[in-house]
Structure formats: C-alpha cells, structure tokens
Amino acid sequence: MQKTNYFFILVVILLFISSNSNAQIATPSLDATILSEFSSATGWREQSTFGATIISGVVKKDETYEDYAWDSSTNQYIKANKTKKNLTTNRDISYLLSSNPTGQLYVETFKAIQNKDDKYSRYDASGVLEYQTVNSIFNDQSQINFAYRFGGKNNGYLTAGAQYFQSRYKISYETTQDDGTGTLTTSKSLSQGDLSGMGASFSVKYGTIYMGGGMEKIDDPETTSRCANSWLNTSYGIALASEKDSGTKYRAEYSRKISAESVVSDQTTASCSRSTDHAPNEEKATAIELKISKNADWLFRYERKVLLDYSIDYTKYSGSTSTTTSTSESERQYDSYGIVLTAKIGWVFGFYYIMGQQATKYTDLVSNTTSSQSDNKLKIGSYRLNFGYVY
C-alpha cells in the first residue's frame, strides 16, 4: 500500500492559498474582481463588486534521459534511453463579493473550488510503462475580510481589519509499478482534511503612499495520522497609488509574507511524524498597474511573485533524533500579464496569462558544498479570465 505523503499535501494546499494572493496588503488592486490578500487592503476599496474568475492551465514536459538497464542476454547492465513524462492540469473557479454595507465598514467574501491533476510516467527504451503516479487534488477554499476606514470615506488615513479563511482538501493517489515479478500493479489511497486561519492587519495612508502589515495564525488540526500544528505568517507591504478622483490611475506595491517554521515531531512525548512539521517559506510579490480612461477604462497589470520554500534542519533542535545531512531551497517564480476592460459602474472583463519556472538549491551539511538544479524547461502556463459587475 502506498504511504501517504502528507508534506506534499500541505505544500499543495499552501500553494493553492498563495495563488489567490496578489500583492494586496497595503492597497487593493485596481482590478476590482481580485481578492485582497489582507483585510487592511479591503478598507481602501472604492466600489462594490461581484466578480468571478476562471483559471485553466496545462503543463506538459517529455524528457529523454540515459539510464542503466539489465540485459538478460549478456547478464550485464547496459545504457538505455528512457523517457519521463509530466502532465499537470488545473481548473479553478472562484467568486468574490465586495461591498460597503454601511458607513466606513467594508466587507469581502470569497469562495474558490480548485482542481489539479498531476501525472508522472516513466517508460523504458521500448516505450513500455515502468512506473506511473496520478495525484488528483480538490480544494474548497473560503475567506471573509472585514475592514474599517478611519477618517471618513473620502479623507481616510488608516484602515484596520480582520479575516478568516478555511481550506478543505481531498487528495487521491494512484500508483502503478512493478510488483517485483514483472507485473504492473496499481494501488490507491485517499487523504482529506482542512486548514484554517485568522488574522488582523492595518494600512496607513500618507498622500499617495500606503504602508500596511499584518499577522495570521494558521491551524493544521490533528488527524488519525498526524499531530496538530500551528504557525504564524507575518506580512508587510508598501505601495504608491494615485488619488481617488484622478483620471489616469496607477498603483505599484511590493509585499512580503514570511511563514515561520513550526516543528512538533521529536519534540513531544506524542508520536508525531515529520509530515506534521511546517517548513519555513516566504513569498515576495511586486505588482504594477496602470488604468487609462479615454473612450473606455483600460487596465494593464503586471505582477511578479517569488515563492521560496526551505527544508528543515532538524539538527538544531535539542532532543531531536534526526541526523540531517543536507538542506534545500526551492524557488518558484511566476509572472502574470493582464489586460482588463473596467468601468466606474458596469461590467468588468479581464484576461491574464501566467507563466513560471522553478529552481532548487541543495546544501550538503557534511561537506559544506552547494549544488543547484534548474528546471527552466518546466514552464508553468495558465490562463485566467476575470469578469464581474461594479456598482
């Protein structure tokens, strides 16, 4: 029976969550259909909006490599060209409702249904399947933001807010491999659970400069296979945005989110697997937006997001039974290009193309040497359609 990789589950779910963040900690996007990452940005919204987003993408990579295969006729290993194939598809749909129900109170509600399929196959030199894994991931994410703007709707200088999110996931695994007798057998397993979190944030405005920050606590509850864990995410952002009533509008924001390491395995009397531990990571995002109002309101948007994932060095924990010999750092970079037909009151339509790549660095703690592996051929391409109504 295949062993469930819970660390893989957590990385996938956190990646889903981060895919909805768009450098919106100090200010909201000029694309009113995009969710504010923190409630502090929600408080600066100028309009009420109902919007929906559809994301679709396919990543395909075929690679031929040299390996050694046993030749029974000569009773020796010989070089053979084998083939690896990776196929990833994702299909997401979400909706957003933002409103100003009363006075200086602003509210956003968000719901997303996300599906992703990862398929990895390995074939021998004759094209016969040797090994295959298929992981199907379903995630149901909800978030609500509350924010209050101090100083009035037209002359506000500070926003403060709170938020709550929940992510329910279900992942099915299917593995096909040689059972040791030359026969391919298939095993299946299923895992499911949920993550939740609460946070608070603020944003200060001085002229066209905005500065914001916040914290959120993430809870990963106990299951029959894992211990409970929790950790803190700290975020900050600085932005430059045009005044509310200006004609041509602009917005530029840089933000950073740091997710703290949280280790519970080997540190308690309970039997906790390392899949329970949360490895540190961070996200850096830069967004640049320009809205030109002429015969119509056209918004041009670019964003770069860099995600850094670090492995845990267990040797620094007293009482740990680990003998960690190496650590790794994985960097994923995503670039998003968008054009949106928007309006002060009326329909909004947007199109985005998202592309990315990945690189990994390994450090040997014994020899104190570093090596890098770049996977620039693995281009991550997705299309995103936004539409909604501003009122």
- What is the structure's pLDDT at 268? 53
Among the listed residues 158, 171, 214, the one whose alpha carbon sits nearest the alpha carbon of residue 21:
214
**61 pLDDT tier (thresholds 50, 70, 90):** confident
Average pLDDT, the chain: 83
Q: What is the pLDDT of residues 26-36, one digit of tens each?
A: 999 999 999 99
Q: How far is CA 327 from the centre of its chain?
A: 22
Alpha helices in the chain (DSSP H): 6-18, 39-42
- What is the structure's pLDDT at 21? 52
Are 333 and 374 in contact by the 8 Å Cβ rule? The answer is: no
- What is the structure's pLDDT at 180? 63
- As a CATH number, domain 6-390 is 2.40.160
Measured from the Cβ of residue 306, the count of other Cβ atoms closer than 10 Å reads: 15
Residue 316 main-chain phi, psi, to 5 deg: -85, -5
Among the listed residues 304, 291, 303, 387, the one whose alpha carbon sits nearest the alpha carbon of residue 346:
387
Residue 234 vs residues 23, 201, 229, 242, 282: alpha-carbon distances, Å = 14, 10, 17, 27, 9
Q: What is the pLDDT of residues 137-191, one digit of tens each?
A: 899 999 999 999 999 888 899 999 999 999 998 888 888 887 666 678 888 888 7
Task: Sketch the domain layout of the chain as residue ranges.
Answer: 6-390
Mean pLDDT of 213-222: 92
- What is the structure's pLDDT at 184? 81
pLDDT of 224 strictly over 60: yes
Mean pLDDT of 182-203: 87
Say whether pTM exceeds 0.85: no
